[in-house]
């Protein structure tokens, strides 16, 4: 957990805020919010979904927000271009929030201690490295890790490094709490652990507890978006399925925009 400590100080928990018991979840009037799930290097799908969002928001006169749930990199072929797209802010008129995913966190930790975080190469890091022009080898050994870290350190643009470092941990709008992985049930929002919010799985997704908010998250892949009373999961495995999902919230309305679907 020593590596987590460095970043926990940079990412304070979100303030406690809950909705009234029995109230229908909502965001403030005059706001439309789009929330995009795990992209994982699929720049092609991000371009498509951005175009869908722009078309959907055309003519909307209120405030337009967009929240990205993290895991921008790894697995898909175009991690570098995904970050380039996000840095270009190519959705004019939107207020953007970029959340931290466990894959971005692991990348940052790999740059500090590649031997401690060697597993990153197994679950998607190789594809990310290749997108930055680094060839780690077919089966990189522990002897290669220092070289790979040094190559990545040299190849990673400062703007990309700062983007990863400046991603926020969580975000709240109205009755919705946005976070990459989820929260620990039974723990107040302002007491949530850093690592739970980017790593938690079953303890969160199987819980039927009332969190006081609706948690919108990615991290856990499902074939379609999961709508539950206490959470909405929108990681539809874009890197493999071709379906990148955006949740659209306006007032009490909830709907989806998705790539790769015929309807």
* pLDDT per residue of the chain (263 residues) written in tens, 0 to 9: 445 565 555 566 676 555 555 579 999 999 999 999 999 999 999 999 999 999 999 999 999 999 999 999 999 999 999 999 999 977 989 999 999 999 999 999 999 999 999 999 989 999 999 999 998 876 677 788 999 999 999 999 999 999 999 999 999 999 999 999 999 999 999 999 999 999 999 999 999 999 999 999 999 999 999 999 999 999 999 999 999 999 999 999 999 999 987 54
d(CA 153, CA 151): 5
What's the N-to-C CA distance of the chain in angstroms?
45
Which residues, in sequence order, are bridge partners of residue 172?
A: 177
Which residues, in sequence order, are bridge partners of residue 213?
A: none
CATH architecture of 36-258: 4-Layer Sandwich (3.60)
User: What is the pTM assigned to this prediction?
Assistant: 0.93
The SS3 call for residue 176 is strand
Quote the pLDDT of residue 9. 53
- Judge whether 238 and 70 are in contact, CB under 8 Å: no
Pairing outcome for strands 170-173 and 176-179: antiparallel
* Residue indicated by tokens 């955006």: 246
């Amino acid at each position: 957990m020593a590596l987590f400590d460095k970043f926990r100080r940079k990412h304070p928990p979100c303030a406690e805020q809950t909705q009234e018991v029995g109230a229908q979840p909502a965001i403030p009037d005059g706001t439309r919010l789009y929330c995009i799930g795990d992209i994982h290097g699929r720049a092609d799908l991000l371009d498509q979904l951005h175009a869908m969002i722009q078309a959907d928001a055309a003519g909307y006169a209120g405030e337009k927000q967009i929240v990205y749930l993290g895991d921008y990199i790894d697995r898909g072929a175009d991690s570098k271009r995904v970050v380039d797209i996000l840095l270009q802010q190519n959705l004019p008129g939107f207020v953007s929030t970029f959340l931290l995913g466990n894959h971005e966190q692991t990348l940052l930790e790999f740059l500090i201690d590649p031997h401690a975080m060697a597993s990153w190469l197994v679950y998607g890091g190789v594809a990310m490295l290749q997108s930055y022009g680094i060839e780690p080898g077919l089966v990189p050994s522990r002897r290669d890790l220092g070289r790979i870290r040094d190559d990545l350190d040299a190849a990673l643009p400062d703007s990309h490094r700062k983007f990863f470092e400046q991603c926020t941990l969580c975000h709240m709008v109205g009755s919705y709490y946005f976070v990459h992985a989820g929260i620990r049930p039974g723990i107040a929002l302002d007491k949530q652990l850093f690592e739970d919010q980017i790593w938690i799985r079953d303890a969160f997704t199987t819980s039927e507890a009332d969190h006081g908010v609706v948690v919108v998250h990615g991290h856990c892949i499902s074939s379609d978006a999961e709508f539950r009373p206490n959470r909405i999961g929108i990681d539809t495995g874009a890197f493999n399925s071709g379906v990148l999902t955006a949740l659209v919230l306006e007032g009490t309305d909830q709907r989806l925009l998705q790539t790769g679907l015929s309807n």
